[in-house]
Structure 1
């Protein structure tokens, strides 16, 4: 049974656009190689951090919404920890209410883009 997860990770701001896309692709492939399915992916861009981390005050934020077996989460988080481009990450299992909220949020974002 596939569980629904959401992962937010922050990449260091000194990356070029190509390096950032390469890092995002690396984490996406960890999910898909372990039998996962990407539901949604968002790049929130360069944002100011709430507090400095590793002497950096900004970072590239990314959000993954995906379904995967629970044992694959350990592999994904290990990939986050080993990659020096990742400043912070958070992965959590979504319950049915969080999944419904996420779907509603995606729908409203899609409607705003169409206007």
Structure 2
């Protein structure tokens, strides 16, 4: 079997302190590392408003973990996420070559840079 690129986004309950949130994220990242996954990127998107209430909560801490692993690890990883009461929702996706290229550009900050207008480019 060969390793594939995955991205998991999960929403943690907003009643957590910063320390509890970081500990929960570290627990999942360490689980992946122990099982032989290569962690590519971990992004904390912070406290965001939810599109609809989940468990009577209107906000949640969003975290994205990008990693490379064998497909057999995903089931074990998702079972651990489901067991954790702090996780309200999660989604794991397989990244194709286009998504991998996009993720690399996003990590480099290419989408955060101010784009030049035609007038600025002419100067």
TM over 0.5: yes
Question: Structure 2 regions of 5+ residues with no counterpart?
Answer: 114-123
Higher relative helix content: 1
The runs of 4+ residues in structure 1 deviating greater than 3 Å are 109-112
Return the TM-score normalized by structure 2. Answer: 0.87
Is 1:64–2:75 an aligned residue pair? no
Question: Structure 1 regions of 5+ residues with no counterpart?
Answer: none
- 1:11-50 equivalences under 5 Å are 11-50=12-51
Q: Which has the larger radius of gyration?
A: 2
Is 1:2–2:3 an aligned residue pair? yes
CA shift in 2, pair 1:47/1:100, >3 Å: same
Q: Structure 1: how far apart are the matches of 2:86 and 2:40?
A: 24
Q: CA RMSD in A?
A: 1.4
Counterpart residue number, 1:81: 82
CA displacement, residues 40-75 of structure 1 (integer Å, 9 cap, x when unaligned): 110000000000000000000000010011011011
Give 1:17 deviation, angstroms.
Answer: 1.0
Question: SS of the residue aligned with 2:109?
Answer: helix
Is contact 1:30-1:75 (8 Å) kept?
no
CA shift in 2, pair 1:59/1:73, >3 Å: same
CA displacement, residues 59-97 of structure 1 (integer Å, 9 cap, x when unaligned): 000000100110110111001100000000000110011
Is 1:103–2:104 an aligned residue pair? yes
